[in-house]
Structure 1
């Protein structure tokens, strides 16, 4: 593996770690209704667990309400069961064709619990980024050991890897700060 390949692979892996964190944040509840709250809940669809976003359209007609309209009305009971099992604290109201979900307001204590949960996810994302840095630094050391790059090149590669690490940790912090503000907003 060459200098450029290590750098490119490192950046791709760190980008993926930050994206995974960002996607995890979409499913975390705030005071407002968003389709991201339920779109990845899996419901039984003809014997296989399928994400709701593939089975229904999810809309937000009001700030505290979600409307789920299945493409196939026969699976409405399955969707209803999946939402009840999801531990989101929402009970769907069904009229046989669509489901309405009222998103309850969060208490101050619950908001703080959710912020702590998001903080833990952010820390896991940063740990993942640091592990990628460690692996890339090892690859750089191996290149130097095999005399494929000079000592100076190894040092500059490690410096660039550190810059990437800082960049993606900052990105994770930015996502966290944005989500924290959203959660604590009444």
Structure 2
């Protein structure tokens, strides 16, 4: 029973890390990376569709993404969707393919992005702590129902705390790596 609670808490904490990873991918660095466009939705025959479902996105060089829609008539639609996204990118097309140059980041922009990364990391930490709180609440409920004794509850809480510490350290490691990536010129 305690192992089930611990496994459930670990699964929630792992999902928190995955969500943080996804959030960090949306924060662009000066380099081109296809995951920057993961949040772009394109109006595809009346349906909002993720860009990667209607086009291939590749890295042309260190600072340019190349998007090749599978249908040529979608080129202007994809181009408009990228311009309308809140990513601050300016695509250009030559009829068949769309190139998206990554603008150079100013020092001010880098600092803003680091702030955003820190906020995302804090959300990740809060999410991990919420998973710990939920697990501890379940352990207390089991104690109230006399399904476990106080020693088992305490041991369970200690194990959940160790998990929490591990995942918080992972969040901090991810944040440090993202900060270094953002501040690299």
TM-score range, shorter chain: over 0.9
Give the deviation of 1:88 after TM superposition: 1.9
The residue aligned with 2:116 is 117
Q: Gapped runs of 5+ residues in structure 1? A: none
Distance in 1 (CA, whole Å) between partners of 2:37 and 2:11 is: 28
Give secondary structure in 1 for the equivalent of 2:142: helix
Stretches of 4+ aligned residues off by more than 3 angstroms: none
Kindly provide the CA deviation profile for residues 141-184 of structure 1, in whole angstroms up to 9, marking residues without a partner as x. Answer: 01111111111000000000001111111111111111111100
Q: Contact 1:39–1:58 at 8 Å: present in 2 too?
A: no
Q: Tell me the TM-score normalized by structure 1.
A: 0.97
The residue aligned with 2:168 is 169
Q: Gapped runs of 5+ residues in structure 2? A: none
Moved more, 82-91 or 145-154: 82-91
The residue aligned with 1:61 is 60
The residue aligned with 1:43 is 42
The residue aligned with 2:154 is 155
Please tell me the root mean square deviation across aligned C-alpha atoms, in Å.
0.9
Q: Contact 1:118–1:176 at 8 Å: present in 2 too?
A: yes
The residue aligned with 1:94 is 93
Give the deviation of 1:40 after TM superposition: 2.8
Give secondary structure in 2 for the equivalent of 1:50: strand
Distance in 2 (CA, whole Å) between partners of 1:73 and 1:176 is: 40
Give the deviation of 1:87 after TM superposition: 2.3
Distance in 2 (CA, whole Å) between partners of 1:39 and 1:128 is: 23
Q: Contact 1:83–1:92 at 8 Å: present in 2 too?
A: yes
